[in-house]
A and B are shown apart, each in its own frame.
Chain A
């Protein structure tokens, strides 16, 4: 199983200036300021579960932009209801990318409740029609391209290795900076 960063690098490589990236709190939000990302980025440093509905609000308001929301499995486990909300809203310009490592990485690597959640099945049961599991970073480009073509919101599930030794940089931007820089 691959670690987070190769997936994040692959994702960034497939985003253009007309896309929008919304990141959940934690490792992804901490890495992004140190990466070259062509799309405007709004990264959370708190507020678990807010990334997907925040991205949905952007997607509904700006239908000409493709909005990618990064969410963690711990965060989504806290509010899986948002899958139904996204399905009901039907925004075809929303892609949710779910990072699955079974741990609350940003709070010290505690394990999630030990339930073998079948995320693709849960998402389909909530009404999402386009769901794909991406096993390797090389598959992310084609998967994102297919998600862009989907007639409704899409979910890409990324199983990633949990690496407690990953050298994740600290949060390097403050919320006001993130908000001020975020222009569509």
Chain B
């Protein structure tokens, strides 16, 4: 049986993603394990999330397709690079972000991040969607990658741990 993580990776592959830059958390780590099983996507481990954004943008500039796989804590670190690189230069940048701290997350200390994540996305004017595991996850990923490419900007797909099962 195909897991949600494998379906998401299939969506990345179908969208032509060639590189996934990541700082893992528990959920993103599971997703990256699936990415590492892909023969078409290069997994790049970075030390901070801002680096992941720039690495993905570099891949896009070089003719590949980059994606950023990080936790929402890391997304909150990325305001400056989103403004000063992605927005300023008009570069596509597709994110898959683990939405820690919402009602589905059993870990109490993530709650403050969960409370501010969508509000921050809206304040930063980042287009985003909540993954819907009752629908076609691969198609949601593919649409997000295409949106970023066509709009020359960011797109954030928020996922929960349940989406990876």
Contacts and interface: CB of A to CB of B under 8 A. Distances in A.
A143 B64 CA distance: 30
B81 interface: yes
Contacts of A179: 61, 89-91
Interface string B31-69: 000000000001011111011111111111111101000
A84 interface: yes
Interface residues of A, number: 35
Contact of B81 (A47, A55, A178, A182): A47
B46 A85 contact: yes
Interface of B: 18-19, 21, 42, 44-48, 50-64, 66, 80-81, 83-85, 88-91
Contacts, number: 115
A60 B54 CA distance: 12
B48 A81 contact: yes
**Nearest 5 A-B pairs (CB), nearest first?**
A57-B58, A47-B84, A46-B84, A53-B54, A81-B47
Interface in A37-62: 42, 44-62
In terms of DSSP, what is the predominant structure of the interface of chain A? helix
Of residues A50, A55, A81, A88, which shows the largest number of chain B Cβ atoms within 10 Å of its Cβ? Answer: A50
Interface string A66-87: 0000000000000101101100
Given A49-B50, A79-B50, A57 B55 contact: yes
A179 to B, nearest CB: 5
B53 to A, nearest CB: 8
Given A46-B84, A89-B44, A175-B89, 14 more contacts: A44-B85, A47-B88, A49-B81, A54-B58, A56-B44, A57-B19, A57-B54, A57-B60, A60-B58, A61-B18, A85-B55, A184-B61, A184-B62, A184-B63
